[in-house]
Structure 1
Amino acid sequence: MLKVRAELCERIDGIKAAIPYSSNAGLCDKASDLRHLAQQYQFRPVAELAWKLEGRLARGERGPSVINVLSLMREATECGRADTQTASTWAAAASIRSM
């Protein structure tokens, strides 16, 4: 699982680094790939946050709201919990941070 966590963190960091020069469609694709990887390994909090990230990117958002979700994704990856309740908690945190 450490390898999977490292891969998730690397992809999260890659999305963050790509924000200034990538199209929203390209960023959405990267977020989708990240979500699929998280789902494959049952990292529900990361998958849920990636879903939220895809939505924000699809609406053309950039900046603080996207950076906040990416930060939460990184924290969720490192927390080690992957159950449904934890996923709901992280999703709620993303909703609150975007206000």
Structure 2
Amino acid sequence: MDAAYATRDPVQAELAARVAGIGHRARTVSIATLASEVDAIRAAALPHGLYPAVAVTHAIEAALARGERGALVIGWLDILRDAVACDRHDGPACETYLAACSVRLSG
């Protein structure tokens, strides 16, 4: 894991590693596999209160459902990695990450 995204929280560290793994495989696996792996991140983040990460996973899942692939999804995985490492877990933090996803979408 990149030192810039290192965290002391073992859950966040494990999720960040999983996001990185998804990113490495994103160009070669099916949309269904990507969606399943992103959903697993959401399911793991939710009980730990990592709400910005949960919000971003919903945006990624919606993009995958629309058939998005390639650089756009890779960009959203970068945002997800940041959201996983975020120390804030409130509504405004979720809105900030969703706005970042929106900016990526409009490019």
Scaled by the length of structure 1, what TM-score is found?
0.92
2:19 is the counterpart of 1:24: no
Q: Distance in 1 between matches of 2:10 and 2:28?
A: 28
Map 1:54-69; keep pairs closer than 5 Å: 54-69=61-76
Equivalent residue for 1:98, pick from 81, 91, 105: 105
Gaps of 5+ in 2: 1-7
2:41 is the counterpart of 1:34: yes
Runs (4 or more) in structure 1 with deviation over 2 Å come to: none
**Secondary structure class of the residue paired with 1:54:** helix
Identity score, percent: 34
- 1:77 CA displacement: 2.0
Q: Distance in 2 between matches of 1:74 and 1:26?
A: 18
Provide the alpha-carbon RMSD of the alignment.
Answer: 1.2
Count of aligned pairs: 99
Deviations 1:77-99 (Å, cap 9, x if unpaired)? 22311112101111011101211
Deviations 1:18-58 (Å, cap 9, x if unpaired)? 21221100110001010111111110000000111111112
